[in-house]
Amino acid sequence: MDLVIEGRVYFRGSLTRTRIGIEDGKITAIGRNLRGDELVDHGDRLLLPGAIDPHVHFRDPGQEAKEDFSTGTLAAAHAGVTTILDMPNNLRPVITSAQVADKRETVSSRAWVDFGLFGGLSRFSDIERMADDVAGFKLYMGSTTGNLLENDDRWIDAMLRRVATTGRTVSVHAEDDAILAKGPELDMEEHELHRPPEAEVSAIRRLAAMGTGARVNICHLSSAEGLAAMDGTGFTAEFTAHHLMLDSRFDRKGYSKVNPPLRTMRHREALMDGLKAGKLHILGSDHAPHTPAEKEKRFDEAPSGMPGVETSVPLLMGLVKHEFIDLHTFVAVTSLNPASVFGLRNKGAIEVGMDADLMVIDPKRMARIDAKHLYSKCPWTPFEGWDAIYPVATILRGTMIMEDENVASARQGQEVH
């Protein structure tokens, strides 16, 4: 055995003091008496599966000044995220297999953690050919950053039936564009009025009524009614830290502008209840970095989106510490469920045969989020000053890539398949 790590290991649903044996990046044994070339004893610290963030916008290629794959994946590693899935709404959208290949060529050598790429769904997408090259498909039913949009039932139905034959999951930006009000909006309240819960509900209901057989994952679920509309659909629900922890009282003008919008307390509470009840399945940061210059434009012109890849998982661990949610929920939504929804067979749990992707947590190390100490290029966060627990180490396929919030190894992120 190359490496043996000891600690309180999250193994099959409980915390057990034991050892994890690692060889060639894989977990090869789990047990109390393992020996190896090297033993690292983490004492009372928790060893949890590395998080999988299945929703980031790293802006690479095209807008590398906002974020690139290097800074984005470093930010991920800092937060205990060992796998990210990157969205296709680049400056030039990624909607054909040739474009996926081009993007891969540009970004793969920059990755500090493992990654997968989404293929955008458009009328021109070669869905069957793309399937082998993407971690999942993305459908935009409402307009948002970028120009990917398909809100016509006939096209959506046809595309999702083709997706169903590939077995891939389709993540959906579920806001019915026909219900979104266009035209100028001056503030947060108007932004919310223009993109009401009914838009979310309508998109979910239309998808459910199609019954295409595709595996559908609803992104950034934002409303009580949207959550209720999920019942009986068989779709999975992805949620963000900002919709769970912020509401419309958090008004920093353009900085608080995001799609779907931050809503009232009532919605936030419904999401928290849903999370506790197991109705929200996946934490996705929707990391959408925009520059302060853009966010400080007139509200109307400021782009929508907030950063999150470097704060979401540590914030959620803070919620575990403060006993808002339990550790099982944390592990389910950060690793177990995203791995199963996106078919990442080697990831998502501490089990023999899996990649040795881990985060080491010292529950006593509560910290305050400070944008100055983040690796992301995005120089601001809506969570400035909030309590969070950052991992003391992040391990990717057996290699410690981050230790005490410092880079600890060479870059070695790989594409997931």
Q: Which residues are catalytic?
A: 286
Residue 67 in tokens: 């974020």
Beta carbon of residue 190, minimum distance to ligand NCD (angstroms, whole number): 16
Residues 6+ apart with CB under 8 A from 93: 99, 120, 122, 146, 147, 148
Of 4-12, 281-289, 296-304, 316-324, which part binds Zn ion (CB under 5 A)? 281-289
User: Which CB sits closer to ligand NCD, 97 or 144?
Assistant: 144
Residue 34 in tokens: 């393992």
The reply to whether 258 sits near ligand NCD by the rule CB under 6 A is: yes
Size of the site for Zn ion (CB under 5 A): 2
Beta carbon of residue 66, minimum distance to Zn ion (angstroms, whole number): 14
Please, which of residues 136-155 interact with ligand NCD by CB under 6 A?
144-145
Partner from ligand NCD, Zn ion, none binding residue 169, C-beta < 5-8 Å depending on class: none
The dihedral region occupied by 323, where left means phi > 0, alpha psi between -120 and 50, and beta the remainder, is left
Query: Are 382 and 255 in contact, with CB atoms under 8 Å apart?
Result: yes
The reply to whether 57 sits near ligand NCD by the rule CB under 6 A is: yes
User: Which CB sits closer to ligand NCD, 71 or 145?
Assistant: 145
Partner from Zn ion, ligand NCD, none binding residue 305, C-beta < 5-8 Å depending on class: ligand NCD
DSSP line for 166-219: HT-EEEEE---TTTS--S---SHHHHHHHS-HHHHHHHHHHHHHH----EEEE-
Beta carbon of residue 148, minimum distance to ligand NCD (angstroms, whole number): 9
Q: Furthest-apart CA pair in the chain: how many Å?
A: 66
The reply to whether 310 sits near Zn ion by the rule CB under 5 A is: no
Partner from Zn ion, ligand NCD, none binding residue 89, C-beta < 5-8 Å depending on class: ligand NCD
234-253 footprint of ligand NCD as x/- string (CB under 6 A): --------------------
Say which amino acid occupies 164: A
The reply to whether 286 sits near Zn ion by the rule CB under 5 A is: yes
Helix (H, G, I), strand (E, B) or coil at 412: coil
The reply to whether 180 sits near ligand NCD by the rule CB under 6 A is: no
Tokens 């177990």 map to which residue?
Answer: 336
Among 8, 59, 110, 173, binds Zn ion (CB under 5 A): 173
The reply to whether 71 sits near ligand NCD by the rule CB under 6 A is: no
Instruction: Give dist(CA 56, CA 284) in Å, integer.
Output: 8
Of 99-107, 118-126, 167-175, 371-379, which part binds Zn ion (CB under 5 A)? 167-175
The reply to whether 259 sits near ligand NCD by the rule CB under 6 A is: yes
User: Which CB sits closer to ligand NCD, 315 or 350?
Assistant: 315
Q: How many residues does the chain have?
A: 417
Beta carbon of residue 286, minimum distance to Zn ion (angstroms, whole number): 4
The reply to whether 381 sits near ligand NCD by the rule CB under 6 A is: no
CA atoms within 13 A on the CB side of 353: 3
Residue 21 backbone phi and psi in degrees, to 5: -95, 135
Question: Which is nearest to 221 in space by CA: 271, 149, 155?
Answer: 271
Residue 313, CA distances (Å) to 39, 43, 69, 86, 317 in order: 27, 22, 19, 17, 6
Of 69-77, 116-124, 171-179, 372-380, which part binds Zn ion (CB under 5 A)? 171-179
DSSP line for 374-388: --SS----TTTT-EE
Please, which of residues 78-107 interact with ligand NCD by CB under 6 A?
89
Partner from ligand NCD, Zn ion, none binding residue 304, C-beta < 5-8 Å depending on class: ligand NCD
Partner from ligand NCD, Zn ion, none binding residue 236, C-beta < 5-8 Å depending on class: none
Instruction: Give dist(CA 396, CA 1) in Å, integer.
Output: 17
Partner from Zn ion, ligand NCD, none binding residue 202, C-beta < 5-8 Å depending on class: none
Which DSSP letter does residue 12 get?
A: T
Instruction: Give dist(CA 27, CA 353) in Å, integer.
Output: 5
Between helix 153-166 and helix 197-210 the angle, nearest 10°, is 60
Please, which of residues 55-84 interact with Zn ion by CB under 5 A?
none
Q: What angle do CA 344, 346, 347 make, to 5 degrees?
A: 70
284-323 footprint of ligand NCD as x/- string (CB under 6 A): --x-x---------------xx------------------
Partner from Zn ion, ligand NCD, none binding residue 83, C-beta < 5-8 Å depending on class: none
Size of the site for ligand NCD (CB under 6 A): 11
Q: Which residues of the chain form contacts with Zn ion (CB under 5 A)?
A: 173, 286
Q: Which residues of the chain form contacts with ligand NCD (CB under 6 A)?
A: 57, 89, 144-145, 173, 258-259, 286, 288, 304-305
